[in-house]
Amino acid sequence: MGKKKNKNKVSGAVKTAAKTEKKLANKLKKELANLGEEDIAKVIAEIEHEEAKRSAAIEKALEGPPSPRAYASLTPHPMNNELVMFGGEYHDGQTTIVYNELLFFDPVKNTWRQVKAPSGPPPRSAHQAVATQANKGELWVFGGEFTSPTETQFHHYKDLWCFSLTDKKWEKVVSPNGPSPRSGHRMALLGRKLFVFGGYADDGRECKYFDDLYTFCLDTRTWTKLSPSGRGPSARSACVMLPVGNDSLIIYGGFSRMREGRTERTYTHTDMFKLVAKGDNWTWRSQTGGLLAPPARAGQAAAVNVHSGRGYVFGGVSDVEETEEDLRGEMSDELQHLDLETCKWHNVTLKSEQPRNTTTTRVEDTIDEDKKEEAVTVVTDEVFTMKLGSGPTQSTVSVAEPPPVAPKGGPGPRMSAMLAVQRSTLFVYGGVLEKDEKQFYLSDMYSLDLHKTNEWKTISEQPKLPDWLGTDSEDEDGSEESDSEDSEDDEE
């Protein structure tokens, strides 16, 4: 009689993988012990447990603006003339702090208040939040990431939370078949459904980008994965996603990394797509964006003005090649708007920036944008900005504009700022400024009346740049440090 086979026998490859995982886990435990840092999963569980102990909401007025941060969510209150900020992070070159603060800003009184409500979510950044008027006002938060103070551990969330703006209570909404853990994704509200697209997850060994699209029905509280027809956006994070009415949305740009052999390449996308409902089905449609489409930038902030049918995009960073091996990040303070119906980009020029006694004719106003657009090169000398190239021929000549009447003021160059439109006023808060190879997290705030567009109003100034405790870009041996941190900033 033959020897009975062991049905539970494990292959050599599986054993090897298990041993490797065990070694990595033990190594991480030793590293964390040396750093005095607990396992990140344990930390998150303890925070959530402590949040659940709170029995009633506590409100506290802040003496000034919130602390510097980026990658938070800034959401228009659906009922009141307020803005709602949640989460975000701060990094000083040595230590990372991730927040789960829920903050409310009153633009009339120029005051902030903090609400500590029962059963709140653990800290996170690079999440997404949207608000709806249903049930007297709700704030929905999905995903994001938690980083340990030493940045040796990262955790991506796949949880969904609902905050009642009236009852001031959090609820963790558990529903199967939703998106996998991720951050840097985008979320928008169409009718009674949340739409979640893209993002990325990094477990320390592999960084994966997503191009999947999910909906969450607020009525049935169920997730559905969509498979629209047509060619849609490739896998990416940190894109611009703007709702158009209740039946379509626009996705523009984004960031991704791809390994090619032993090297890794980064991509800053500039393509645009519109997702359109056709009955019960959805279809992707490619869009051109027009001649004034932004250059390749990552870390742009975006918001929509539903009353005017415009989306606004501010800031971001472009990679400028200095040598074959060296890239420099060039920050932007440009504000543009996107016509959500035509999907064409336009520059936002403040009235204080209007040129004097000029006969300039804008090239883009004379071109039939349905014609094929050719490559355009942007040349700037900090005074004039001109577009050169073999564009469509026309009889109109564009003259470079003279310097503006007054400095533009308002928010300076930055990436990953918070942007929101409330009652036709655009608000910008914080973000990251890269200067002398250092990254400074900001806490300044500005507003712009979109009806008048006269000039930016300063709500709170940046008194000084925070202390930077990190090292320079080169270590003691003269070798360059990893650029993974910059890449993660772009992804969020």
Q: Where are the extended beta strands (E) located within 87-202?
A: 89-91, 96-98, 102-106, 111-116, 128-132, 138-142, 145-147, 154-156, 160-164, 169-173, 186-190, 193-197, 200-202
Look up residue 483 and give its amino acid: D
Could you give the CA distance from residue 480 to residue 296 in angstroms, rounded to a whole number?
25
Contact status, residue 115 vs residue 57, Cβ threshold 8 Å: yes
CATH fold of 44-174 reads: Neuraminidase (2.120.10)
323 band by pLDDT with thresholds 50, 70 and 90: low
Nearest alpha-carbon partner for 148 in 31, 15, 9: 31
Mean pLDDT to the nearest integer, 200-223: 94
Average pLDDT over residues 187-205: 94
Distance from C-alpha of 240 to C-alpha of 323, rounded to nearest angstrom = 30
Per cent of the chain over pLDDT 90 is 63
Q: Is 67 within 8 Å of 86 (Cβ atoms)?
A: no
b/e for 417-444, b at 16 or more Cβ within 10 A? bbbbbbeebbbbbbbbbbeeebbbbbbb
Pick from 133-147, 446-460, 477-491: least confident: 477-491
pLDDT tens figures, 430-443: 999 998 889 999 99
**What are the structure tokens assigned to 409, written together?**
């003021």
Identify the band that residue 328 occupies on the pLDDT scale cut at 50, 70 and 90.
confident
Cα atoms found within 13 Å of the Cα of residue 395, Cβ hemisphere only: 0
Give the Cα separation of 153 and 200 in Å (integer).
Answer: 16
Q: What is the mean pLDDT of residues 331-352?
A: 94
* Structure token pair of residue 391: 């564009």
Q: Which residue has the tokens 């990679």?
A: 319
The sheet that has 138-142: what strands, in order across it? 128-132, 138-142, 160-164, 169-173
Q: What is the DSSP string of 270-284?
A: EEEEEEEEETTEEEE
Q: What is the pLDDT of residue 324?
A: 58
Q: Which helix (H) or strand (E) holds 61?
A: strand 58-61
Q: pLDDT at residue 421 above 60?
A: yes
pLDDT above 60 (res 398): no
Q: In angstroms, rounded to a whole number, what is the distance separating the alpha carbons of residues 289 and 252?
A: 9
Q: Are 39 and 26 in contact (CB under 8 A)?
A: no
pLDDT at 313: 98
321 and 406 Cβ atoms separated by less than 8 Å: no
Averaged pLDDT, 349-360? 62
- Check: CB of residue 336 under 8 Å from CB of residue 347: yes
Q: Around Cβ 239, how many Cβ atoms within 10 Å? A: 26
Give residue-wise pLDDT tens across range 35-93.
557 899 999 999 988 998 888 999 999 999 999 999 999 999 999 999 999 999 999 99
Contacts of 386 (CB under 8 A, 6+ apart): 378, 379, 380, 400
Most confident of 28-32, 269-273, 398-402: 269-273
Query: SS in 3 state form for 415-443?
Result: ECCEEEEECCEEEEEEEEEEECCEEEEEE
pLDDT on residue 261: 76
The b-or-e profile of 289-306 (16+ CB within 10 A means b, else e) is bbbbbbeebbbbbbbbbe
Over range 235-264, report the average pLDDT. 92
CA distance 101 to 66: 10
Q: What is the dihedral of CA 114, 118, 122, 126, to 10 degrees?
A: -50
pLDDT for res 24: 41
H or E, element range at 241 = strand 240-244
Residue 325: per-residue pLDDT: 63
* Dist CA 355 CA 403 (whole Å): 7
Mean pLDDT confidence for 213-230: 97
Torsion of CA 485, 487, 491, 492, to 10 degrees: 30
Nearest by Cα to 241 from 194, 176, 303, 291: 303
Question: Which pLDDT band, with edges at 50, 70 and 90, does 395 fall under?
Answer: very low
Instruction: Give Cα separations from 192 to 20, 216, 423 (angstroms).
Output: 46, 8, 22
- The confidence score (pLDDT) of residue 204 equals 76
**Domain-by-domain residue ranges, the chain?**
44-174, 356-403
**Contact in structure between 253 and 297 (CB atoms under 8 Å):** yes
- One-letter amino acid of 232: G
Give me the pLDDT at residue 488, please.
55
pLDDT at 408: 62
Q: What angle do CA 272, 278, 281 make, to 5 degrees?
A: 90
Residue 249 has pLDDT above 60, yes or no: yes
